[in-house]
């Protein structure tokens, strides 16, 4: 078990006078409300759940249990909680339409108009995240507005804000769904540790062994 502290990722000129604090709270405390707290309080939603690790981003938080379950809460503006984000959906729709106009898109399989969908901007209580293929998490790290999760099989999943390529998928797109960073498997590498900076992600790797390759789920 460790301790983690969130950080205001805004540039200094946008933070106001020193000591002024943040202009708003986005549910990152996980108590179900948006009020600030001046004293530590137990997270009732996870009472009785053995928590192994915690992580904190700009305005979101994460908890990893001993069983490998991952809980997330706080601000979801860029999809950093892996919950439906209006901002991400609008960007994906715009990109699809631009591709159609350029003749490189797939208009028939374009997702429905995001304006009619249900989105989550703030999740003030911990929400359980299920990774693809039922993967169990053994490490989580939070950036300013993105999240990275390392599985027990040595795979790395990322989601959230991707403007600076911090998700590692070869583009600058944001995502509100966990996506496996595929380059490590292509390079026959196993990820053993991950740390997120505000706008970057750092992964420690080692050569994948035969046993590790055999434990990978089929695509």
The predicted structure's pLDDT at residue 94 = 82
The predicted structure's pLDDT at residue 40 = 92
The predicted structure's pLDDT at residue 7 = 74
Q: Report the distance separating Cα 32 and Cα 73, nearest Å.
A: 10
Backbone angles phi, psi at 55, to 5 degrees: -145, 150
Span 34-70, pLDDT tens digits: 999 889 999 999 999 999 999 999 999 999 999 999 9
Structure tokens at 186: 């292509």
Q: Mark residue 15 as left, alpha or beta (left: phi above 0; alpha: psi -120 to 50; beta: remaining).
A: alpha
The predicted structure's pLDDT at residue 100 = 61
Q: Across the strands, what pairs with 70?
A: 64, 129
pTM of the entire predicted model: 0.83
Taking 70 as the pLDDT cut, the residues of the chain under it are: 1, 8-24, 98-116, 210-219
């Amino acid at each position: 078990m460790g301790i983690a502290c969130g950080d205001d990722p805004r540039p200094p000129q946008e933070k106001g006078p020193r000591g002024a604090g943040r202009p708003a709270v986005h549910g990152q405390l996980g108590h179900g409300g948006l009020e600030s707290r001046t004293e530590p309080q137990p997270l009732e939603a996870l009472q009785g759940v053995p928590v192994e690790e915690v992580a904190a981003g700009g305005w979101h938080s994460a908890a990893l249990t001993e069983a490998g379950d991952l809980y997330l809460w706080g601000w979801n503006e860029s999809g950093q909680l892996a919950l439906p984000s209006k901002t991400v959906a609008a960007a994906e729709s715009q990109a699809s339409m631009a591709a159609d106009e350029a003749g490189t898109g797939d208009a028939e399989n374009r997702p429905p108009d995001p304006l009619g969908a249900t989105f989550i901007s703030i999740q003030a209580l911990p929400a359980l995240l299920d990774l693809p293929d039922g993967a169990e998490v053994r490490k989580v790290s939070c950036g300013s507005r993105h999240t990275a999760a390392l599985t027990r099989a040595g795979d790395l999943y990322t989601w959230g804000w991707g403007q600076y390529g911090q998700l590692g998928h070869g583009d600058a797109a944001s995502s509100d769904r966990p996506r496996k960073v595929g380059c490590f498997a292509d390079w026959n590498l196993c990820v053993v540790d991950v740390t997120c900076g505000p706008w970057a992600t750092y992964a420690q790797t080692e050569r994948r062994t035969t046993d590790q390759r055999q434990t990978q789920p089929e695509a």
